Structure 1
Amino acid sequence: MPDPDAVETPDDQQTDPSVADRARHVLSENGTGMLQDLLFAVVWVGVASALYNVAFPTAPQWVLYMFMVAGIPAYFGFFISLEIAKEQSDR
């Protein structure tokens, strides 16, 4: 049952931001970080796929999955070491 005290806003005066507005807001705050994450993922998957297809063509499928899972600690290790290097260069 609708609440009789609730005030409805017309469709042209919605208070919720649109999907495009929310996307712009998220990208303006996290744009470079999201781009770095995407670039790392694309490079990692490319290298892992190339290794699996070229260097280990007779390996079982789970080897590819292990290469992909190894990207998780590699990601954090890379960006943590990058932050440490930035801090040391600022000194």
Structure 2
Amino acid sequence: MSVADTVLDHVEEHRGGIVADMVFAVAWVGAVSLVFGLLGAPQWAHYLAMALGVAAYYGFFWSLAIAREQQSAAE
């Protein structure tokens, strides 16, 4: 199996997760850039907000997983 086949298999298997990750990243960077562009905040605050996107990402998907578990347990 070639490297290209391996990559294609991986992408096909994880397509939904890859799309969700990309949507979250684009939305976070877009929102932070818009807010800090309008406010004229210092550059360090902009970078801090970008870095906090990592914590926001894990927090969002962790809470989503818990909500799905609770929903499936209730059914």
TM-score for both structures, normalised by structure 2? 0.89
Q: Does structure 1 residue 39 correspond to structure 2 residue 23?
A: yes
- Between structure 1 and structure 2, the one with the greater Rg is 1
Matched residues, number: 73
**Alignment-mate amino acid for residue 72 of structure 1:** V
Q: Which has the higher contact order (CA 8 A, sep 6+)?
A: 2
Inter-partner Cα distance in structure 1 for 2:32 and 2:46? 7
Give the match for residue 4 of structure 1. Answer: none
Cα deviation for residue 18 of structure 1 reads: 4.4
Inter-partner Cα distance in structure 2 for 1:63 and 1:44? 15
Q: Which has the higher helix share?
A: 2
**Counterpart mapping for 1:1-91 below 5 A:** 16-19=1-4, 21-54=5-38, 56-57=39-40, 59-91=41-73
**Alignment-mate amino acid for residue 17 of structure 1:** S
RMSD: 1.1
Structure 1 runs not aligned, ≥5 long: 1-15
TM-score for both structures, normalised by structure 1? 0.74
Structure 2 counterpart SS, 1:43? helix
Structure 2 counterpart SS, 1:69? helix
Inter-partner Cα distance in structure 2 for 1:75 and 1:52? 19
